[in-house]
């Protein structure tokens, strides 16, 4: 009975004493690669004239990118999906007044997000 109880206890939880997941004996844990897109233009916290384009660092394996632009009240101003390169011109029909804006980019592979940039702010001043 004791052996059965110990055997069940050992199989019941795939985590260590701290709650971290364990891998089965003989298997290496899967590598966790953090992939972050870097904002290139406009850079984080840029202050100045409205940007004429958005540019970001490439992510290996991405087959397309999606970009979004929000104003300071968190209203989505513009979004574009299916971008195949690492830059996108500012849409001519989009007027940005003075103020703070936020933009982010996601890298996609087969419709699955494989990397993201997080939000970056830029400020349009005179």
Query: Tell me: the pLDDT tens digits for 1-52?
Result: 444 333 333 334 344 444 444 445 555 444 445 589 999 999 999 999 999 9
Q: Which SS3 state, helix, strand or coil, does residue 14 take?
A: coil
Domain that holds residue 82: 38-124
pTM over 0.75: no
Residue 15 falls inside a structural domain: no
Residue 16 falls inside a structural domain: no
State the chain's mean pLDDT as an integer: 82
pLDDT at residue 126 in the model: 72
Q: Which of residues 53 and 34 earns the better pLDDT score?
A: 53
Residue 78 falls inside a structural domain: yes
Q: Is the dihedral of CA 6, 8, 10, 15 positive or negative?
A: negative
Residue 83 falls inside a structural domain: yes
Q: Which of residues 31 and 64 earns the better pLDDT score?
A: 64
Give CA separation, 99 vs 19, 40, 48, 115, 122, in Å. Answer: 46, 20, 10, 28, 8
Q: Is the dihedral of CA 121, 118, 56, 83 positive or negative?
A: negative
Number of domains in the chain: 1
- CATH for 97: 2.60.40.1220
Q: Is the dihedral of CA 108, 114, 115, 116 positive or negative?
A: positive
- β-partners of residue 101 are 71, 122
């Amino acid at each position: 009975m004791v052996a059965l109880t110990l055997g069940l206890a050992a199989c019941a939880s795939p985590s260590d004493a701290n709650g971290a997941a364990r891998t089965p004996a003989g298997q290496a844990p899967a590598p966790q690669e953090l992939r972050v897109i870097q904002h290139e233009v406009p850079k984080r916290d840029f202050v100045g004239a409205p940007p004429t384009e958005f540019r970001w660092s490439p992510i290996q394996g991405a087959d397309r990118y999606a970009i979004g632009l929000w104003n300071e009240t968190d209203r989505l101003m513009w979004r574009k999906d299916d971008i195949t390169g690492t830059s996108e011109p500012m849409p001519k029909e989009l007027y940005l007044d003075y103020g703070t804006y936020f933009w982010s980019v996601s890298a996609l592979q087969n419709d699955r997000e494989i990397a993201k940039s997080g939000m970056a702010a830029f400020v349009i001043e005179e």
